[in-house]
Amino acid sequence: MRTFKNVKINCIQGDIANQPDVSAIVNAANAELKTGGGVAGAIHRAAGPQLAEECQPMAPIKPGEAVISAAHNLPNNYVIHCLGPVYGQDKPEEKLLADCYRNALQIAEEHDIDSIAFPAISTGAFGFPMKEAATVAFETIKDEIGQLKSVIEIRFVLFSDSDLRIHQKILKTIA
Ligand code: ADP
């Protein structure tokens, strides 16, 4: 756990679709804002079909963009859907990944959200190397912290123990 200017950043191992104590969860979405594999599958399954129905008019979104919806059957207030870059295809990858984190935090602020949980966007089907993605995520969040008024807790939910350890290690090195 690290605290920057009163904002707590935490890493845990778990399922992004089972974080009942945060106001918003972030979806590693596809452009069509539909269900799929990985994070999007877990979130849409837990939220129910109304989530895809609500999102349909907002689709398609572009890499780096974020949109917000209700959480339906999930135990949260909101889902923030980010489209990460496909590694090796959507360029510049690092900027587009940073845009996801910046835009998600900005939308959270606009909705007075106090706590938000992120998965490791782009590191699954989209192929972004885990260490590089974690560095982009934490550097971007640290740079944005001064702008945050409502968000006081940021949680990273990693699927595997090794992904958790990578995130914990990189979070420690952020100056
Ligand atoms: P992307 O298409 O943006 O790469 P994925 O959903 O394929 O998104 O994967 C993003 C990351 O989330 C990967 O590291 C994957 O292991 C992890 N992941 C998959 N399912 C879950 C889940 N239910 N909760 C948290 N993380 C998950």
- Average pLDDT (9-19) is 98
Mutation test residue for ligand 1: of 13, 39, 80, 90, the one with most atoms within 8 Å of CB: 39
46-50 own/partner pairs: CB under 8 Å, 24+ apart: 46/17, 46/18, 46/73, 46/74, 47/17, 47/71, 47/72, 47/73, 47/74, 47/79, 48/72, 48/73
The pLDDT of residue 90 is 98
Contact indicator for 9, 156 with CB cutoff of 8 Å: yes
Mutation test residue for ligand 1: of 65, 159, 162, the one with most atoms within 8 Å of CB: 159
The 10s digit of each residue's pLDDT in 74-115 is 999 999 999 999 999 999 999 999 999 999 999 999 999 999
Question: For position 59, which CATH number holds?
Answer: 3.40.220.10
Check whether 29 has a pLDDT greater than 90: yes
The 10s digit of each residue's pLDDT in 55-72 is 999 999 999 999 999 999
Per the structure, the complete domain to which residue 115 belongs is given by: 2-173
Please give the tally of structural domains in the chain: 1
